[in-house]
Amino acid sequence: MSLIECVPNFSEGRRPEVVTAIVDAMRVSGVSIIDVSSDADHNRTVVTLVGDIDPIAEAAYRAVKAAAALIDMRQQSGVHPRIGAADVVPLIPLREVSLAECVSTARKLGARIGSELGLPVFLYDAAALRPDRVTLPQVRRDPYETLVGSVGADPTRTPDYGPSALGSAGAVAVGARGPLIAFNAYLDTDDLSVAQAVAREIRESGGGLPRVRALGLLVDGAAQVSMNLTDFRVTGMLSALDAVRQAAAARGHRVERTELVGLAPLSALVDAALSALQLPSAAADLILEARIGQATGDYRPIPFE
């Protein structure tokens, strides 16, 4: 059986009853909901689903339909960039499925959302049909409030599917991609300009680290460097954190804490640990639980009581 991951992002993180209704809409046979992460300042919820490719596509469609009915973008606000109620729907291949199959499914899903729900759909990443819409920042160049006017007037904003007009549910970005790690660093200041300067310095588009996207935001009264590591095999978590630490220190500040939004691959965390401990990559094969799992089939954590 194929195994894919879907990580839809919804523009709601303040009303638990709405989040619950959207999550419930995704309860489809053959789909496991393995994580739900909400944040009030971002006003955003990230859900992680895994399952076979067709049930995942059905669950994603139902979630978009529920979000479109429950979230009014005309009333929505938050610090995170967004274009719609069901803002982003990426498909990620995990086992026995190719990225090309996820691309095909993403395009079919986008077409269905556009035709049956009447929502503008922009394809991105590996599913993109246009070279100027490969990255998510390109797709979200105009936030909802700006896209309302530009989607029908600017040819570069014409959606791939659905109407060239935005209603209360906004638009949806549907894509297929590799694993992405959402990794945030909080600085010891409430000065937003510091986080913004750090983000500009470390992100790929500013000449910083490859495969790193970053924004400076103000969250819970603290300056946050919000990062997306689009390929942790190119730039890992520790490398990204070290870059933030150095850029912050150059401005007289330090990192107080970090957080993950959603899930991260085990190998990304192991790589970070090996780097921090200055161990060779071969040491990843010396993890006790992994060896026990290989021998017995039981990969459960050991409590060491």
Domains observed in the chain: 3-176 (3.30.990.10), 181-271 (3.30.70.670)
pLDDT of amino acid 2: 85
* pLDDT per residue of the chain (305 residues) written in tens, 0 to 9: 789 999 999 999 999 999 999 999 999 999 999 999 999 999 999 999 999 999 999 999 999 999 999 999 999 999 999 999 999 999 999 999 999 999 999 999 999 999 999 999 999 999 999 999 999 999 999 999 999 999 989 999 999 999 999 999 999 999 999 999 999 999 999 999 999 999 999 999 999 999 999 999 999 999 999 999 999 999 999 999 999 999 999 999 999 999 999 999 999 999 999 999 999 999 999 999 999 999 999 998 898 87
Which residue in the list 65, 80, 112, 140 is annotated as catalytic? 80
Q: Decide if 80 is catalytic.
A: yes
Using alpha carbons, list the distances in angstroms from residue 290 to 83, 217, 239.
Answer: 42, 38, 25
What's the pTM? 0.91
pLDDT of amino acid 1: 76
pLDDT of amino acid 152: 87
